[in-house]
Chain A
Amino acid sequence: MTVRLRGGLATAVLLVVVLASLFPLYWSVVVASHDNADVAGRVPPLLPGGELPGHVREVFAAVDFLAALRNSAVVAVTVTAANVLLSTAAGFAFAHLRFRGRDALFAVVVASAAVPVQLGVVPLFVLVGELGWYGRLEAVVVPGLVSAFSVFWMRQACREAVPAALVDAARVDGCSLVRVYRHVVLPALRPHATVLAMLTFVASWNDFFWPLVVLDPNEAPTVQVALSRLAGGYYTDYPLVLTGAVLGTLPVVVLFAVVARGVVGGIMRGAVTG
């Protein structure tokens, strides 16, 4: 990747940031490709070793990785798409429409983001069981379909990217709200929606504790749940666990690289040039 740039200093700073971001991932690969003794040595290894293929084989022997990958993809894609669609709708309403109780309702959204999830887990678990979703992907997908963060973010986005004047003009022309939403709001929100999609996808992909509790590790595990069986009885075999971690992260990184190059770039350019 050759990057020619004006402003050498800015590029240098950016490079440092990027290296700092990439380093842990690189380090994971390094650890995954050594054995336990190398990793605990006086001089930690800085270059990848030769153990990776063996560790990958071990991971695949222990875990039905492809099935887990499929489940994770289904969950993350569904949750991401639903979040983007539902939160744009709600965000648009909160930002540009006047209706009774709007501010109070929005305060509820903000406050709901502050509910600590840690202890709600047992009642939530009981509820999911009563719905008959225990062990099924719905248990992970449905509670995550739309989050306070997304609504909050999209309301903000609507305020910034969609001038109220534009909405009002369309309304004066007699467009229905749905049409305004589709033809005015959605196109303007693309950059924000892309970012939200990325963030939601990552969060959903990496979610661990809740899926672990409600999914059956044999029937329909997500990647993170499946990988949890790699941690040993009383101690952590770091190289093996990190091999799993790398395998679990790789799909997201590849997806980002592909999506980033094509879709995001296009959307951002489109958004900028109008």
Chain B
Amino acid sequence: MAVLLARLDRRVTPYLLVAPFFVLFGAFGLYPAARTAWMSLYDWDLLDGPVAFTGWANYAALFADPGFYRALANTASIFVAATVPQLLCALGVAALLDRPLRGSAVWRAVVLLPNVVPVVAVALVFAQLFGRDQGLVNWVLSGFGADPVDWRAHAWSAHLGVAVMVAWRWTGYNALLYLAAMRAVPRELHEAAELDGASRWRAFRSVTLPSIRPTLLFTAVVATIGGFQLFTEPTLFGGADGGADRQFQTLVMYLYEAGFERFDAGYAAAVSWVLFALCAVLALVNAALLRRAVRGG
């Protein structure tokens, strides 16, 4: 009897443990996503509902639209500019926080603040920083004898500005994730390194980094998904249309324009499925890397 129970336990319990996620995801994630897939096959007006069945026409129009490729390129460009320095900074901040500090818990809470600050405050602060005529950044630049930059007008400067905004909002967040991973590194490893007389930098490289590699990859996956669904920061940075040349319109802004400004729900649904496919592929590639790294590490 006990054996049977144990076997049942081994067979059934894992499913019970993961069930809540799948039930909720099925109802509130999968169902809307499936409805969206169905919408994408129609000429579907957001307010009036389905106008006509059009099959793959929305997708065909999407892949023929230069605006889509521009949004894709913008998204990728901002993603690279924002993610790489941001994850490196987060690692540095985490390493600093990992040292013995008084009031360390308060420090930790403070680095998360950029993520807590309401977006309207963030928008105002960055509008001030990157203002063309009275922005702090241009004021500093002019101190070095440079001409003021019209940050929102050019692709490179707008991408840079949005990237700074993204990095500022998420660095502390990722630093906390790294810190939690560092804290989980068994103490014996550190002690062994200390006995070997390793410098702090050596210990960090040979003990800490390998132990938190899975978390590094985890944040890379999340940053990828988040980066390709970037919407809030560029909208706050320079308005919902992404600039006069749409030079900083991201994919989700492009989706939003179709759905909520042109009310073309069918087209927007097609965009969101393409976006989903893109994110899923990138995430699964990352997850494969992650699994390899876990096995390897």
* In the complex, A touching B (Cβ < 8 A): yes
Q: Which residue of A lies closest to B181 (CB)?
A: A160
Q: How long is the Cα–Cα vector from A181 to B16 in the complex, in angstroms?
A: 13
When distances are taken between beta carbons in the complex, the residues of chain B under 8 Å from A246 are 121
Closest approach, in angstroms, between the C-beta of B186 and any C-beta of chain A?
A: 9
Establish whether residues B108 and A160, one from each chain, have CB atoms under 8 Å apart when the complex forms: no
Establish whether residues A248 and B268, one from each chain, have CB atoms under 8 Å apart when the complex forms: no
Establish whether residues A105 and B22, one from each chain, have CB atoms under 8 Å apart when the complex forms: yes
Q: How long is the Cα–Cα vector from A242 to B103 in the complex, in angstroms?
A: 29
Q: How long is the Cα–Cα vector from A140 to B272 in the complex, in angstroms?
A: 23
Establish whether residues A178 and B112, one from each chain, have CB atoms under 8 Å apart when the complex forms: no
Establish whether residues A5 and B125, one from each chain, have CB atoms under 8 Å apart when the complex forms: no
- The answer to whether B130 has its CB under 8 Å from any CB of chain A is no
- The answer to whether A220 has its CB under 8 Å from any CB of chain B is no
Q: Which residue of A lies closest to B18 (CB)?
A: A90
Q: How long is the Cα–Cα vector from A178 to B252 in the complex, in angstroms?
A: 42
Q: How long is the Cα–Cα vector from A92 to B118 in the complex, in angstroms?
A: 34
- The answer to whether A47 has its CB under 8 Å from any CB of chain B is no
Establish whether residues B33 and A115, one from each chain, have CB atoms under 8 Å apart when the complex forms: yes
Closest approach, in angstroms, between the C-beta of A3 and any C-beta of chain B?
A: 5
Q: How long is the Cα–Cα vector from A1 to B212 in the complex, in angstroms?
A: 31
When distances are taken between beta carbons in the complex, the residues of chain A under 8 Å from B187 are 272-274
- Check A18/B110 contact, CB under 8 A, given A24-B125, A118-B231: yes
Q: Which of B56-64, B68-76, B215-223, B241-249 contacts A (4 or more CB under 8 A)?
A: B215-223
Residue among B225, B228, B256, B265 with the highest chain A CB neighbour number at 10 A:
B225
Q: How long is the Cα–Cα vector from A259 to B180 in the complex, in angstroms?
A: 16
Count A/B pairs, Cβ under 8 Å.
Answer: 281
Interface residues of B in 2-23 (CB under 8 A from A): 6, 9-11, 13-15, 17-18, 20-22
Establish whether residues B20 and A107, one from each chain, have CB atoms under 8 Å apart when the complex forms: no
Contact check: which of B33, B125, B212, B275 meets A23 at CB < 8 Å? B125
Contact check: which of A14, A110, A151, A160 meets B184 at CB < 8 Å? A160
- The answer to whether B116 has its CB under 8 Å from any CB of chain A is yes
- Check A146/B24 contact, CB under 8 A, given A160-B181, A195-B177, A268-B183: yes
Establish whether residues B184 and A191, one from each chain, have CB atoms under 8 Å apart when the complex forms: yes
Q: How long is the Cα–Cα vector from A153 to B97 in the complex, in angstroms?
A: 20
Closest approach, in angstroms, between the C-beta of B169 and any C-beta of chain A?
A: 10
Interface of B is mostly: helix
- The answer to whether A71 has its CB under 8 Å from any CB of chain B is no
- The answer to whether B204 has its CB under 8 Å from any CB of chain A is no
- Check A4/B106 contact, CB under 8 A, given A17-B111, A148-B25, A256-B112: no
Establish whether residues B183 and A242, one from each chain, have CB atoms under 8 Å apart when the complex forms: no
Establish whether residues A99 and B117, one from each chain, have CB atoms under 8 Å apart when the complex forms: no
Q: Which of B77-85, B143-151, B154-162, B276-284 contacts A (4 or more CB under 8 A)?
A: B276-284
Closest approach, in angstroms, between the C-beta of B224 and any C-beta of chain A?
A: 9
- The answer to whether B142 has its CB under 8 Å from any CB of chain A is no
Given A89-B20, A160-B211, A260-B108, 12 new contacts (CB under 8 A): A97-B17, A107-B284, A118-B231, A118-B268, A123-B32, A124-B32, A156-B215, A192-B181, A249-B116, A249-B118, A253-B116, A274-B187
Chosen A-B contacts, 25 in total, with CB atoms closer than 8 Å, are: A14-B97, A21-B112, A22-B110, A25-B117, A28-B124, A31-B124, A44-B134, A97-B13, A110-B283, A119-B272, A120-B32, A145-B24, A152-B222, A159-B294, A177-B9, A192-B180, A195-B177, A199-B112, A202-B115, A205-B116, A206-B116, A236-B120, A238-B124, A268-B183, A273-B187
